[in-house]
Amino acid sequence: MIEICVVGAHLSGMVLNPELLREGAEFRRAVQTAPLYRLFALAGGPPRRPGLLRVPAGQAIATEVWAMPVDGFGRFVAGIPAPLCIGTLRLADGTMPKGFLVEPEGLHGAEDISAFGGWRAFIASLVTA
């Protein structure tokens, strides 16, 4: 099993979570990142997607860690569209799983939503707005 950290549309109960489940993923834990990231609502969609960018001094962002069988991980990663990519994240619990990141080029037209602390809080703000 390979751990993969998700921050947005693949979170449990969100629109793209079935993609994880289809590849045999199992939920492991909810954990924040180390305070080294900015979270952006990317332009485009649907569905709306976040982009997590590592920066020298950022903040902690809510995530979920899932574990996938190796073959499922390969199929899943092969379908990730640019500007999203998979890299190594630093989490508050000291672990460093693979996870979603965004290429800086993908930030054109994006909104910095780091102050929400995570994708769920941002999406909830849209419903109440």
Residue 129: the pLDDT is: 55
Determine the average pLDDT of the residues in 68-77: 94
CA 113 to CA 102: how far, in whole Å?
Answer: 14
Domains of the chain, CATH where assigned: 2-128 (3.10.490.10)
DSSP 116: G
pTM for this one?
Answer: 0.92
Give me the mean pLDDT over the 107-115 stretch: 95
SS3 128: helix
Annotate 17-44 with b (16+ C-beta within 10 A) or e (fewer).
bebbeebebeebeebbbbebbbbbbbee
* 49 token code pair: 């997607």
Q: Match 């492991």 to its residue by tokens.
A: 28
